[in-house]
């Protein structure tokens, strides 16, 4: 057996606990410096817009309900797409395709393990957002539309709200941007499967 394949199998079997699997998977969602900068700038822009414009014309609680509701609808739809993609990944990674993906080592990680981590991590990310949105909806639906923190003045309440809603929107947008990596990884998987199938077919035609 190829040494790369042995090493890949050893690494895969090394994920013998949920916490270890979770930690390794989350590492696949590490943000690039460019993405971080873009998200920070977006957060600043949203914060300024809420402080100077939006807060003067919106009902904060009602607006937040709409934002969370829309985000939930989108994330639930994408979550089903991710689960379908994960199922496709599991279905295609067999035979020659699996061998090819186990042979490719990148930073002591095979392409199979890299894709597996990514699909697992993005599934958990979307599931986490769905749960957070559900809990947030329960809270928002059980408080008055004019509710605020009574021990703070209006400006402080507006500032606090602007910080939170801007962070929430940026977090959701970042999760949506991850679909780009999802589509790319799925494309790479299809390409690998196609090449492996072609090689297998050529070998069959060459054999007597």
Tell me the sheet residues that pair with 109: 106
- Domain hosting 79: range is 3-9+18-202
pLDDT of residue 95: 74
Q: Residue 67: inside a domain, yes or no?
A: yes
Nearest to 63 by CA among 46, 80, 79: 46
pLDDT reading at 18 higher than 70: yes
**81 — pLDDT class (breaks 50, 70, 90):** very high
Q: Residue 77: inside a domain, yes or no?
A: yes
Q: Residue 208: inside a domain, yes or no?
A: no
Q: Residue 96: inside a domain, yes or no?
A: yes
Count of domains observed in the chain: 1
What mean pLDDT do residues 123-141 have? 95
**29 — pLDDT class (breaks 50, 70, 90):** confident
Contact criterion met (CB below 8 Å) for 168 and 67: yes
Computed from CA positions of residues 66, 71, 74, 77, in that sequence, does the dihedral angle turn out positive or negative? Answer: negative
**73 — pLDDT class (breaks 50, 70, 90):** very high
Q: Residue 76: inside a domain, yes or no?
A: yes
Q: Residue 173: inside a domain, yes or no?
A: yes
Contact criterion met (CB below 8 Å) for 92 and 186: no
Q: Residue 196: inside a domain, yes or no?
A: yes
pLDDT of residue 93: 80
More confident residue, 59 or 101: 59
* SS3 (DSSP) at 105: strand
Q: Residue 207: inside a domain, yes or no?
A: no
The alpha carbon of 127 is separated from its chain's Cα centroid by a whole number of angstroms, namely 9
């Amino acid at each position: 057996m190829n040494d790369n394949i042995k090493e890949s199998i050893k690494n895969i079997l090394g994920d013998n606990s949920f916490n270890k699997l979770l930690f390794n998977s989350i590492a696949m969602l590490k943000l690039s410096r460019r993405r971080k900068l873009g998200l920070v700038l977006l957060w600043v822009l949203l914060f300024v817009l809420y402080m100077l414009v939006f807060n003067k014309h919106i009902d904060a609680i009602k607006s937040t309900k709409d934002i969370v509701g829309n985000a939930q609808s989108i994330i639930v739809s994408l979550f089903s797409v991710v689960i379908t993609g994960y199922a496709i990944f599991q279905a295609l990674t067999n035979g020659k395709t699996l061998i090819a993906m186990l042979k490719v080592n990148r930073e002591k990680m095979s392409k199979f393990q890299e894709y597996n981590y990514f699909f697992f991590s993005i599934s958990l990310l979307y599931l986490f957002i769905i749960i957070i949105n559900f809990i947030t909806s329960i809270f928002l639906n059980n408080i008055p539309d004019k509710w605020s923190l009574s021990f703070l003045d209006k400006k402080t309440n507006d500032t606090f709200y602007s910080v939170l809603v801007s962070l929430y929107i940026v977090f959701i947008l970042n999760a949506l941007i991850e679909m780009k990596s999802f589509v790319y990884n799925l494309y790479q998987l299809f390409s690998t499967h196609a090449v492996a199938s072609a090689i297998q077919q050529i070998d069959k035609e060459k054999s007597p």
